């Protein structure tokens, strides 16, 4: 009974297609345990500037595509339901929970993960600031915190308000520490490096400003 | 997650047709649908991806309002300067919801259609009339801290978890849809969500395949816009009680009052009689209490959510005091 | 080395401007901020691992009558459905962790099957196809409901009870009496990384890449369970995404991955989902605690009693030792502490950050606050009046105790003198503002640990031990110790941890990790220094080690030149001696909190918090502060938000078993939080003169918050967590 490699059944492009459980043409041998197959889809993911053509079970989340198919394990699975933020990546520059979306939904779209933030050996200012301010302990939420912070600083620069913004009509709300805290609340850190994370983000924001 | 066929229709009309197939489900942001699919609470056999349709714009309407495409992300509504300046209650409500990551993905239509956060609904090993009609309601007699106190039935005491919908309710938004036969309709948000009754699995008035294409906001309402959300932690938590309020004062009296409530019922809750109680009155604790009485008429706790009755009263009082500077 | 006498002056004391204690950035920081640190589930494996997904029982108690796995086995990608019918027999003794070894269901959520498939998606879908039929039995699920069955537990890491003097005779006659009952809820560790294991067999040898705090203990448990020689089992945990006690013992993910991988002759990895963690693994029991404090009119304690009830699975003996800190914190001649255990049909209760003190101090320190108001004495003054000169029960000296200094320094920094003694006096807009304080204490422990240090001709020091870094900073502080003692810069120290192939080490638990593993390293470095001194012909006690050289007088010898072609390796070991019997050992601190209570809704918002602590020598100012703050925030969560809710209609069913419904603090909950350590060296604890830090921060933190809430609005909530509904019901009518 072969149990080794994942069955790979490309079914053409991602434009319009139908996929489903066997019966597919290759599922004829479905009698044997482990050989029934789910028809796959082909997805082109652009991650950290590199293009990857993947043959995936359509149920594969963006997070699992990154972790299990591209070995980009920096994005973490803490809850798999968008409740912790450890999987935060940047999709087209905007922060999202990679666990709450399917890879197939993002065919052709650019994704940036923690592995893509540094410029070669030079750390991103947020990464350097997280080290300096000890913005983590166990490190498991860290990738998500940093990607989230990167997205958050862009949002702030673009004038995005938050729930704690006093005057919503103000086109460019100032990024106070309270604002950082509110905007970063989708990223749980159970080690509770929170004060240090805020200090790190503040430092990185000042470097960029 | 059960296997599904994945489709990407080329037009909104095709999407409605595809969505009409039994077992089909439209996916937009997916932040709630995938959450539920992973737990097999939702088990669509066909997933209709509408993300690439051009339904992601906010445009002015001839009447002086705004038309928000169904695919506009929650954060983009909240950040839109027109919304911030003229529909503050909506922007604030959106910003009160979930996390920035979820708001960046979640869509207008998806937010309106999100399912309840009832703990038992989320666990397929437990009875739930909404998930498995006829199986019973585990929340009645169980843990129901986040559950409804108004409009409940013996079948279901779930709440609608949206913040956005509460603000849209106070703004009298209109939901635009398209049906598989190509016909369109405009549904006033007041009538969009249903109360559970004996069919809690039917949550809206949408027909099979009927697909949301936009939400229309009437011209801006003058007055103070407030969205007050009371929750168990400072951020990233569902409302226990929320109040969307647009209050206009004139000559020391409440000229107009619009109030909608979240966390209390199977739909955003609005009571015209409560608003009438306030209008024309000078603000005072007694007037606020009278309004609260009207809002809470028929309210019933189920044990762990009994506190919502006094909490609603006190939150309404606080919001009115803030709005009227009294 | 065995710790039987004070250590005396050490090279760490002599070092001028040494690196130990300095706020060195974490040495593993770069790996963690770039996503390069590999946690258990992420270790690359050839061939690619198969995926296991756990199926859980959905009854409270009973037995499986049938399992239909036909559909699951036929599902796409599924290669194995493991149940009690085809799982290998495992040891069933007390220290084993058998899984799928019986049709009996002892508690809700117990694993009943593992579905293994070629992909995660297929394994998960397959798991939902397993149909289990049960015969249900009645059980006992709630602590309150089981109080009638409470028993005196057998002694574990704590003794169940203590008595000094005549509590029963004196308390009733005390001029001032407080008799109050506090309850704390069931809590979950909620570390960010779920339990996960990748199992790989090579012949009859098993390697588990797993997320485990105590590797040597874990290895022994796996070997016992699978009836293997310990030498054939290897556990590797280079990085661990938090533990807080959840990963002290081997969990089902490890055993299931191991048996599935053996069955399939193929690597298998299993991660528990966040939802599964709640019932499959351990939690902190809820507690019911009765505090009785009797004082004279000046607040001097005459009688102090603490009864603490907790629950556990009926076959388990561990209890939440919530009464323990009451044995040492305050003076008083008549004392009675009793921990009681209620047998339940519920998942296993085990240690969670500061087991005992974390919840015991919620009760004791709130009761002390109540007493202060009753007596109209400042809460700090009341505590100082009851500061004991020696351990009040064992009548032995404290190894070190500077609690009063913590109170005073904290009061000064926090602005305690601005406190309004009467509650409800400070209002800003809708907010009622209050401040509160509490004492922190956490027992200090030294456990056996060993380490090897090797220096090769390249001058790089390689340290190996089966120690773990669960975010505590082990990699960093051990690097600092080796760097300072060997006189080499930190980048010339290579720290290899997290592998049972290395010398047995303490692991991470009970706040003993840094001091125990660091002491073993200290001993090893001392030995290596002696070898170097000997080879250089210099006096060990007088020589200095710096810049990669041994230096004395005018002579300086490069260490790398002394190691020969093959290098030198030495081992060091520390064992606890009798110092823990001669001296009462605790870390201490004072916690201060300012809260705002919404006068309309009862919502509580922390405004600022300060902890002032003493924990002996601080090994890294930066990481210690971070740990202390992390503990304080844990305490804030316990005070305000955290509670696993049980629905006994379905067994020990934890209703809110996810991170949307079990709330832990988020950024917005935490404004200004700071922690400060006062200088202290404790030469009776261990060669480093350090004491435990990791759990100290949580101790008393929640009580300070609760006491601040009372000061803000007069609501004394004795049922944790203090949610807004409880506060609101104590607020006055709105104006």
pLDDT digits (tens, 9 = 90+) for B104-145: 999 999 999 999 999 999 999 999 999 999 999 999 999 999
Going by pLDDT thresholds of 50, 70 and 90, the confidence category of residue B326 is confident
Q: What local confidence, expressed as pLDDT, does residue A35 receive?
A: 57
Chain A: residue nearest B8 by CA? A16
Together in a domain, C125 and C245: yes
- What is the average pLDDT value for chain A, to the nearest integer? 87
Contact C191, C247 (CB under 8 A): yes
Ranges assigned E (strand) in B179-223:
184-188, 211-217
Beta-carbon contacts of C28 under 8 Å, excluding residues fewer than 6 positions away, are A139, C37, C239, C469, C475, C476
Domain around B41 = 5-49
User: Which residue numbers in chain C have pLDDT < 50?
Assistant: none
Tell me the pLDDT band of A19, cut-offs 50, 70 and 90: very low
DSSP state of B234: S
Chains meeting A at 3+ CB pairs closer than 8 A? B, C
- Residue B10: inside a domain: yes
The answer to whether the Cβ–Cβ distance between C667 and A194 falls below 8 Å is yes
In a domain, C720, yes or no: yes
C70 at interface of A, judged by CB pairs closer than 8 A: no
Across the interface, do B142 and C128 touch by the CB < 8 Å criterion? no
Confidence class for position A31, pLDDT limits 50, 70, 90 = very low
Q: Quick one: C633 and C569 in the same domain?
A: no
A38: confidence class by pLDDT, cuts 50, 70, 90:
confident
Q: Which residues of B touch C121 (CB under 8 A)?
A: 1
Domain membership of residue B129 (yes or no) is: no
B325 and C CB contact within 8 Å: no
* CATH number for position B40: 3.30.43.10
**End of a domain among C280, C297, C328?**
C280
Instruction: Name the domain count of chain C.
Output: 3
Q: What is the DSSP letter of C690?
A: B
CB contact under 8 A, A33 and C78: yes
pLDDT, average across residues A39-43: 94
Beta bridge partners of C293: C178, C304
CB contact under 8 A, C192 and A127: no
Q: Sheet containing C111-117: give its strands across.
A: C78-83, C111-117, C50-56, C268-271, C196-202, C205-210, C233-236
Q: Is residue B306 part of a domain?
A: yes
Residues of chain C contacting B, Cβ within 8 Å: 58, 76, 121, 124-125, 128, 275, 430, 598, 600-603, 605, 640-641, 645, 647, 649-650, 655-656, 658, 660-661, 663, 665-669, 723-725, 728-729, 734-735
Closest partner residue to A141 (CB to CB) among C192, C240, C672 is C192
Rg (CA), chain A: 20
Q: What's the pLDDT at C602?
A: 98
The answer to whether C61 and C291 are in contact (CB under 8 A) is: no
C61: containing domain: 40-138+190-280
C647 interaction partners in chain B (CB closer than 8 Å)? 138, 142-143
- Inform me whether the C-beta atom of residue A176 falls under 8 Å from chain C C-beta atoms: no
CA nearest to C661 within chain A: A83
With bands split at pLDDT 50, 70 and 90, how would you rate the model's confidence at A36?
low
Interface probe with A: pick from B51, B98, B100, most Cβ of A within 10 Å: B100
C440 and C451 both lie in a single domain: no
Residue C655 contacts by C-beta under 8 Å, 6 or more apart in sequence?
B119, B120, B142, B143, C645, C646, C647, C661
Judging contacts by C-beta atoms under 8 Å, the chain C residues touching residue B38 are: 124
Percentage of the residues of chain A whose pLDDT score is greater than 70: 82
Element containing residue B74 per DSSP (H, E):
helix B74-79
Q: From the list C32, C625, C673, which residue is nearest A139 (CB)?
A: C32
Residue B249 CB-half CA count within 13 A: 14
Q: Which CATH number belongs to the domain containing residue C199 in this structure?
A: 3.30.365.10
Residue C197: inside a domain: yes
- pLDDT at position C45 is 87
Domain-located, residue C128? yes
Q: C-alpha distances in angstroms, A170 versus B79, B103, B220?
A: 11, 20, 18
Chain segment C397-441, per-residue pLDDT in tens: 999 999 999 999 999 999 999 999 999 999 999 999 999 999 999
Find which of A137, A145, A198 to mutate to test the C interface (most C CBs within 10 Å of its CB): A137
**pLDDT of amino acid C157:** 76
User: Residue B61 in contact with residue B84, Cβ under 8 Å?
Assistant: no
Question: Taking a C-beta distance cutoff of 8 angstroms, is the pair C704, C607 a contact?
Answer: no
Q: How remote is the C-alpha of C495 from its chain's centroid?
A: 23
Using beta carbons and an 8 Å cutoff, which residues of B are at the interface with A? Answer: 1, 3-10, 27, 29-31, 34-35, 38, 45, 47, 49, 51, 75, 78-79, 81, 84-85, 88, 91-92, 95-96, 98-102, 104-105, 234-236
Q: Residue A32 has what pLDDT?
A: 41
For a pLDDT cut of 90, what percent of chain B falls above it? Answer: 100
More reliable by pLDDT, B317 or C157: B317
As annotated, the active-site residues of C are: 695
Angstroms from A207 CA to nearest CA on chain B: 23
On whether the CB atoms of residues C558 and C517 are closer than 8 A, the answer is no
Mutation site, C109, C646, C734, C735, interface B, largest B CB count within 10 A: C734
Q: Is pLDDT at A30 greater than 50 in this prediction?
A: no
Q: What is the DSSP letter of B79?
A: H
Average pLDDT of chain C to the nearest whole number: 97
Q: How far apart are CA C49 and CA C198, in angstroms?
A: 8
Q: What is the mean pLDDT of residues B267-295?
A: 98
By DSSP bridging, strand C544-546 and strand B184-188 are: unpaired
Domains in chain A, start-ordered, CATH in brackets?
Answer: 25-116 (3.10.20.30), 125-208 (1.10.150.120)
Mean per-residue pLDDT, B228-243: 98
How many Å lie between the alpha carbon of A60 and the closest alpha carbon of chain B? 10
| Cα–chain center distance at B6 | 28
A7 — pLDDT class (breaks 50, 70, 90): very low
Give chains near B: 3+ CB pairs under 8 A.
A, C
Do residue C16 and residue C88 come from a single domain?
Answer: no
Residues C214 and C118 in one domain: yes
Q: Do B141 and C58 touch (CB under 8 A)?
A: no
| In a shared domain, residues C532 and C621 | no
In tens, the pLDDT along B63-92 reads: 999 999 999 999 999 999 999 999 999 999
Side-chain half-sphere exposure of C648, counting CA atoms within 13 A: 11
Of the residues B228, B233, B236, B316, the best mutation for testing chain C's interface (the one with the most C CB atoms within 10 Å of its CB) is B233
Helix (H) or strand (E) holding C307: strand C301-313
Over residues A51-85, the pLDDT tens digits come to 999 999 999 999 999 999 999 999 999 999 999 99
- CA-CA-CA-CA torsion for B25, B29, B31, B32, nearest 10 degrees? -40
- From the list A16, A88, A168, the residue facing B88 with the nearest CB is A168
How far does the CA of residue C388 sit from the closest CA of chain A (Å)?
33
pLDDT of A10 higher than 80:
no
Q: Which residue of B has its CA nearest to A153?
A: B100
Which of the listed residues C576, C593, C622 is the one where a domain comes to its end?
C576
Claim to verify: residue C534 and residue C453 sit in the same structural domain: yes
Is residue C525 within 8 A of residue C485, CB to CB? The reply is yes
CA distance C391 to chain A (A): 32
A104 Cβ under 8 Å from any chain C Cβ: no
Please state the rounded mean pLDDT for residues B275-281.
98
- Of the three residues B18, B34, B49, the one that is the final residue of a domain is B49
Judge contact between C203 and C498, C-beta under 8 A. Answer: no
Question: What sign results for the dihedral spanned by CA atoms A21, A23, A29, A33?
Answer: positive
Considering only CB atoms, which chain B residues are within 8 Å of C669? 233-235
Cβ separation A139–C241 shorter than 8 A: yes
| Same domain? C530 vs C619 | no
Rounded to whole angstroms, the Cα distance separating C162 from C332 reads: 14
CB contact under 8 A, A74 and C633: no
Distances (CA, A) of C432 to C58, C420, C610, C673, C685: 45, 12, 20, 20, 44
Q: What is the mean pLDDT of residues B40-62?
A: 98
Same domain, C601 and C631: yes
- C275, C430, C728 member nearest B310 (Cβ): C728
The answer to whether residues C456 and C550 belong to one domain is yes
Of A38, A159, A182, nearest to B235 by CB-CB distance is A182
| Substitution target from C122, C271, C603 for chain B, most B beta carbons within 10 A | C603
Do residues C519 and C666 both lie within one domain? no
CB atoms within 10 A of CB A51: 10
> Based on the domain organization, do C393 and C410 belong to the same domain?
yes
Domain holding B291: CATH number?
Answer: 3.30.390.50
Name residues whose C-beta falls within 8 Å of residue B325's C-beta, 6 or more positions apart in sequence.
none
Question: Where does a domain end: C262, C280, C298?
Answer: C280
Q: Rounded CA gap, B288 and C733, in Å?
A: 13
Q: Residue B228: inside a domain, yes or no?
A: yes
């Amino acid at each position: 009974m072969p149990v080794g490699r994942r069955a790979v059944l490309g079914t053409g492009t991602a434009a319009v297609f139908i996929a489903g459980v066997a019966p597919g043409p290759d599922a004829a041998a479905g009698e044997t345990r482990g050989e029934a197959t789910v028809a796959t889809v082909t997805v082109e993911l652009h991650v950290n500037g590199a293009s990857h053509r993947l043959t995936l079970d359509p149920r594969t989340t963006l997070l699992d595509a990154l972790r299990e198919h591209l070995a980009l394990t920096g994005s973490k699975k803490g809850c798999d339901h968008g409740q912790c933020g450890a999987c935060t990546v940047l999709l087209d520059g905007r922060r999202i929970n990679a666990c709450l979306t399917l890879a197939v939904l993002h065919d052709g779209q650019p994704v940036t993960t923690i592995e893509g933030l540094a410029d070669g050996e030079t750390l991103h200012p947020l990464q350097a600031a997280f080290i300096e301010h000890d913005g983590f302990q166990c490190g498991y939420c860290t990738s998500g915190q940093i990607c989230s912070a990167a997205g958050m600083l862009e949002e702030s620069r673009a004038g995005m308000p938050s729930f704690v913004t006093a005057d919503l009509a103000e086109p460019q709300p100032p990024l106070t520490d309270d604002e950082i805290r509110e905007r970063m609340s989708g990223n749980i850190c159970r080690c509770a490096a929170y004060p240090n994370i805020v200090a790190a983000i503040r430092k990185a924001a000042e470097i960029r400003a | 997650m059960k296997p599904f066929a994945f489709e990407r229709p080329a037009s909104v009309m095709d999407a409605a047709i595809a969505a009409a197939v039994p077992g089909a489900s439209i996916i937009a942001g997916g932040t709630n649908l995938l959450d539920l699919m992973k737990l097999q609470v939702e088990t669509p056999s066909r997933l209709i991806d509408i993300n690439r349709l051009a339904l992601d714009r906010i445009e002015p309407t001839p009447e002086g309002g705004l038309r928000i495409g169904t695919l506009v992300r929650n954060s983009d509504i909240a950040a839109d300067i027109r919304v911030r300046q003229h529909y503050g209650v909506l922007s604030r409500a959106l910003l009160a919801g979930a996390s920035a990551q979820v708001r960046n993905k979640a869509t207008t239509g998806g937010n309106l259609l999100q399912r309840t956060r009832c703990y038992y609904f989320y666990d397929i090993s437990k009875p739930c009339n909404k998930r498995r009609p006829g199986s019973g309601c585990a929340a009645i007699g169980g843990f129901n801290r986040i559950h409804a106190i108004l409009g409940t039935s013996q079948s279901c005491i779930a709440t609608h978890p949206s913040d956005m919908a509460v603000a849209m309710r106070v703004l009298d938004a209109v939901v635009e849809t398209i049906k598989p036969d190509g016909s369109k309709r405009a549904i006033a948000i007041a009538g969009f969500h249903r109360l559970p009754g004996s069919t809690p699995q039917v949550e809206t008035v949408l027909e099979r395949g009927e697909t949301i294409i936009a939400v229309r906001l009437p011209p801006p309402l003058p007055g103070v816009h407030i969205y007050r959300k009371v929750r168990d932690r400072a951020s990233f938590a569902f409302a226990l009680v929320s109040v969307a309020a647009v209050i206009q004062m004139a000559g020391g009296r409440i000229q107009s009052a619009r109030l909608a409530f979240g966390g209390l019922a199977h739909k955003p809750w609005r009571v015209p009689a409560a608003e009438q109680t306030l209008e024309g009155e000078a603000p005072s604790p007694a007037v606020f209490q009278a309004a609260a009485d009207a809002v809470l008429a028929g309210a019933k706790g189920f044990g762990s959510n009994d506190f919502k009755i006094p909490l609603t009263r006190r939150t309404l009082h606080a919001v009115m005091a803030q709005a009227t500077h009294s | 080395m065995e710790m039987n006498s004070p250590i005396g002056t050490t090279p760490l004391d002599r070092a001028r401007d040494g690196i130990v204690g300095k706020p060195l950035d974490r040495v593993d920081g770069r790996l963690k901020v770039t996503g390069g640190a590999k946690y258990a589930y992420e270790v690359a494996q050839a061939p690619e691992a198969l995926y296991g997904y756990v199926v859980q029982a959905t009854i409270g108690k009973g037995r499986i009558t049938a399992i239909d796995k036909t559909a699951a086995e036929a599902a796409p990608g599924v290669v194995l459905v493991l149940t009690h019918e085809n799982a290998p027999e495992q040891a069933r003794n007390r220290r084993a962790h058998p899984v799928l070894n019986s049709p009996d269901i002892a508690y809700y959520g117990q694993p009943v099957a593992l579905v293994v498939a070629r992909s995660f998606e297929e394994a998960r879908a397959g798991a939902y196809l397993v149909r289990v039929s049960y015969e249900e039995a009645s059980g006992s699920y709630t602590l309150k409901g089981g109080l009638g069955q409470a028993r005196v537990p057998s002694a574990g890491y704590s003794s169940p009870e203590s008595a000094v003097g005549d509590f029963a005779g004196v308390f009733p006659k005390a001029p001032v009496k407080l008799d109050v009952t506090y309850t704390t809820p069931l809590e979950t560790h909620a570390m960010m990384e779920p339990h996960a294991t990748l199992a790989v067999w090579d012949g009859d040898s098993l390697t588990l890449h797993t997320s485990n705090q105590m590797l040597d203990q874990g290895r022994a448990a796996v070997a016992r369970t699978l009836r293997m020689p310990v030498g054939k089992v290897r556990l590797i945990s280079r990085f661990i995404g938090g533990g807080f006690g959840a990963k002290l013992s081997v969990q089902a993910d490890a055993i299931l991955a191991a048996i599935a991988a053996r069955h399939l002759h193929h690597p298998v990895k299993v991660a528990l989902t966040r939802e599964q963690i709640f019932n499959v693994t351990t939690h902190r029991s809820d507690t019911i605690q009765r505090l009785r404090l009797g004082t004279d009119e000046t607040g001097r304690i005459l009688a102090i009693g603490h009864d603490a009830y907790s629950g556990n699975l009926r076959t388990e003996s561990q209890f939440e030792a919530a009464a323990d800190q009451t044995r040492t914190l305050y003076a008083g001649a008549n004392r009675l502490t009793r921990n009681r255990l209620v047998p339940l049909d519920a998942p296993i209760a085990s240690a969670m950050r500061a087991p005992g003190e974390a919840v015991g101090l919620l009760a004791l320190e709130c009761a002390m606050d109540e007493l202060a108001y009753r007596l109209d004495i400042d809460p700090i003054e009341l505590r100082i009046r009851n500061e004991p000169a020696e351990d009040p029960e064992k009548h032995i000296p404290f190894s070190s105790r500077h609690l009063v200094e913590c109170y005073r320094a904290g009061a000064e920094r926090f602005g305690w003198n601005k406190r309004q003694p009467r509650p409800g006096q400070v209002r800003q807009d809708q907010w009622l503002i209050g401040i509160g304080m509490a004492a922190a204490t956490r027992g200090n422990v030294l456990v056996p640990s060993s380490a090897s240090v090797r220096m090769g001709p390249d001058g790089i020091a390689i340290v190996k031990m089966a120690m773990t870094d669960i975010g505590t900073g082990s990699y960093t502080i051990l690097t600092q110790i080796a760097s300072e003692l060997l006189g080499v810069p930190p980048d010339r120290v290579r720290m290899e941890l997290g592998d049972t192939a290395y010398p047995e080490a303490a692991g991470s638990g009970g706040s003993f990790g840094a001091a125990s593993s660091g002491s073993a390293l200290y001993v090893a470095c001392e030995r290596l220094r002696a070898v170097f001194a000997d080879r250089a012909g210099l006096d060990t006690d007088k020589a200095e080690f710096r810049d990669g050289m041994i230096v004395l007088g005018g002579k300086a010898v490069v260490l790398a030149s002394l190691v020969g072609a093959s290098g030198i390796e030495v081992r060091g070991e520390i064992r606890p001696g009798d110092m823990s019997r001669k001296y009462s050992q605790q870390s201490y601190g004072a916690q201060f909190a300012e809260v705002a209570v919404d006068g309309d809704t009862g919502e509580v918002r922390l405004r600022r918090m300060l902890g002032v602590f003493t924990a002996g020598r601080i090994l890294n100012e930066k990481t210690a502060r971070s740990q202390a703050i992390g503990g304080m925030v844990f305490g804030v969560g316990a005070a305000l938000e955290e509670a696993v809710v049980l629905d006994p209609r379905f067994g020990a069913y934890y209703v809110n078993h996810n991170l949307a419904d079990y709330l832990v603090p988020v950024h917005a909950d935490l404004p200004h939080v700071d922690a400060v350590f006062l200088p202290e060296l404790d030469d009776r604890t261990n060669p480093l003169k350090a004491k435990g830090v990791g759990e100290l921060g949580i101790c008393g933190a929640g009580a300070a918050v609760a006491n601040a809430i009372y000061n803000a609005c007069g609501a004394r909530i004795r049922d944790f967590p203090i949610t807004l509904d409880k506060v609101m019901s104590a607020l006055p009518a709105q104006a």
